[in-house]
Structure 1
């Protein structure tokens, strides 16, 4: 996922503010700059202790989406492939279950990753299995 440079600057400012005085609230201007990251299902965590230990900001940003919403941009066949992928099936197993070739499964998996903007099969599985789904 690519993050807007303005959002990165706001994250840096938020970290600096928290490091200066952890008891003081982050300025509202910083919070407003982080607004592009805020949407339903978003978790933004700033781990100050880990940041101090590793010497760099540790910020995690995660999204959880209900599976039905997650797979909404997919075609019906891609949804079939994605459902089996989430069950942990290999391309060969998916091909056998759907009576299609492994090459077609591979094409569907690539399309699924592109449509969902996820980097890997594991990321699809993690997004679909997220305990934070609503």
Structure 2
């Protein structure tokens, strides 16, 4: 469960409200927004989008320092958390690509919604079948 939402719906990836959802979506092929800033073979996979909020206290492009944007405000607190967000973000986009290949006639909304459902199922499987039994 997450800070802003009492159910396991991956709000850390998608946000907890409509404004977050819309800010994080690409609105193309069911994908989430991404930024590419690494050249060559390392730049082929998208990174979390950069925050563009003035006064966010950590984005300083002139110093090569950027904050990332995700559904969870804590995304920039520590590298482990940032990495976890990146993994789920990339998994959503991977699912969307696979679904588009299987269903080229689907709309952006269908691809996004089904990718989100599948990602939520993966997440809940890990929580309820792998993590929770160890804790309880």
TM-score, with normalisation over the residues of structure 1?
Answer: 0.24
The structure whose residues are more often strand, as a share, is: 1
How does the TM-score come out when normalised to structure 2?
0.24
